[in-house]
Amino acid sequence: MSHIKNEIHEALLNKNGFYRDLNSYYFNCEGSCFTLLPDKGKGHYWFYSYKNIFLISVLDFVLYEDLFIEYPNGNYLSLSYYESISGTEFEPYYKFAAPCLKGHFCNNNPYKCIFHKNIPVRCISLIVTPEYCKEYIHAKNSQQYKNLAKAFSNLDSVPDFPELIYLLNQIKNCRFSGISAKLYYESKVMEAISMIVQKINATASSSSAKRVAPQDFESLVSVTKYIDKHFPLEIKLDALSKIACMGTTKLKYTFKAVYNCTISDYILNKRLKKAEYLLSSTDLSISQISQSIGYKKAGSFSEIFRKNTGLLPNEYRKLSSYNSYSPYKPLDELNFQ
């Protein structure tokens, strides 16, 4: 976890207007507290890390300007509870609606998000690595790690999880020191993971009646492959219905059951993801990008982009930066024994 602490958190915090505050008494002294520079905002970002195993962070600040953050490529699982926030995650797109729980599986791809100004960011997060899973959960191969990653990723679909929120607040309020803090944080991280796995398994069992037949799932795969290749074009529901060999009503229902979004939302997310890539890594004009993803008018594209990300395309381009550096190995290269 030393990479996560030194190469991600400290570097990103220093880059984005936070400074190491050795005189802060807002959080546990066992961790590291960073405070926003007065011209950037007010508040703090605290984190506690242990070896190459896990990291806990507490965010409590207000920004004076929108802040775009890109975490480098990595392999880790994260859990976050947002008590207050206004912002957007990218790849896939997700607009925060606090209070909310968010699970995330990062598999050697960057994590990008934007925090909007003038709205308090209050969050408690846990990050665990494959090394943690090997040592504490005895995940002996990458498939077991992927199963745990699936549980984290499905956390967004859990409608109510008060016991986990209570546990996260216990972590936030801990003031133990030395070995007591280490043991406390270790036990609470393990307890949180246990809760997540149990909750996801219970939720999956209760929704077994909604499972899609194997042949229908294969039909949906054909539909998504078609959309992935043709999303810049106008895609008719009737055409997708013929590809899936099912009626439009059944197609819409099964698609939502499997992908947890509508067909229209799936197409929109494909377009926005492509636009985000073109904005951050090319010099194409807004008009060119608009046409390349299926919008004839740049104004229409700009409004849709703003509605879903909180930023106009030019604002996103200004804030974003392309970062190909990664201190991590791909998941398949990790040495599970």
* 335 within some domain: no
Look at phi and psi of residue 84 and say left if phi exceeds 0, alpha if psi is from -120 to 50, else beta: beta
Q: How many domains does the chain have?
A: 2
Same domain, 202 and 228: no
Token match 């976890």: residue? 1
Tell me, what CATH number does 304's domain have?
1.10.10.60
Q: What's the per-residue H, E or C state across 57-95?
A: EEEEEEECCCEEEEECCCEEEEEEEEEECCEEEECCCEE
Q: Alpha-carbon dihedral of residues 287, 291, 296, 301, nearest 10 degrees?
A: -70
Tell me, what CATH number does 61's domain have?
2.60.120.10
Which secondary structure element, helix H or strand E, spans residue 169, and what is its range?
helix 162-173
Same domain, 7 and 123: yes
Pairing mode, strands 41-50 and 100-107: unpaired
Same domain, 188 and 63: yes
Q: What angle do CA 257, 304, 121 make, to 5 degrees?
A: 80
pLDDT for the residue numbered 337: 34
Same domain, 49 and 173: yes
* 178 within some domain: yes
Q: What share of the chain is helix, strand, coil (3-state, %, to 5)?
A: 50, 20, 30
Same domain, 32 and 150: yes
Q: Which amino acid is at 154?
A: N
Q: Which of 49, 25, 21, 50 is nearest to 33 (CA)?
A: 21
Domain boundary, last residue among 186, 208, 230: 208
* 333 within some domain: no
pLDDT for the residue numbered 329: 38
Same domain, 271 and 197: no
pLDDT for the residue numbered 51: 82
Neighbours of 205 (CB within 10 A): 8
Pairing mode, strands 94-95 and 75-84: unpaired
Residues 269 and 93: their CA atoms lie apart, in Å, by 7
Full domain range(s) for residue 274: 214-319
Residues 130 and 183: their CA atoms lie apart, in Å, by 20
Same domain, 153 and 265: no
Contact between residue 129 and residue 334 where contact means Cβ atoms under 8 Å apart: no
Same domain, 174 and 227: no
* 266 within some domain: yes
Same domain, 134 and 29: yes
Q: Which amino acid is at 113?
A: C
* 35 within some domain: yes
Q: What's the per-residue H, E or C state across 289-309?
A: HHHHCCCCCHHHHHHHHHHHH
Same domain, 163 and 219: no
* 314 within some domain: yes
Q: Which of 28, 5, 318 is nearest to 170 (CA)?
A: 28
Domain boundary, last residue among 208, 230, 259: 208
pTM for this predicted structure: 0.71
Phi/psi at 336 (nearest 5 deg)? -85, 125
pLDDT for the residue numbered 276: 87
Domain boundary, last residue among 176, 208, 240: 208
Residues 198 and 260: their CA atoms lie apart, in Å, by 21
* 330 within some domain: no
Neighbours of 74 (CB within 10 A): 22
Listing DSSP states for 10-62 in one string gives IHHHHHTTEEE-TT--SS-TTSEEEEE-TTTEEEEEEEEEETTTEEEEEEEEE
Same domain, 8 and 123: yes
* 286 within some domain: yes
| Residue spans of the chain under pLDDT 50 | 1-3, 208-209, 322-337
Token match 């209570």: residue? 166
Tokens of 169: 């607040």
Same domain, 129 and 234: no
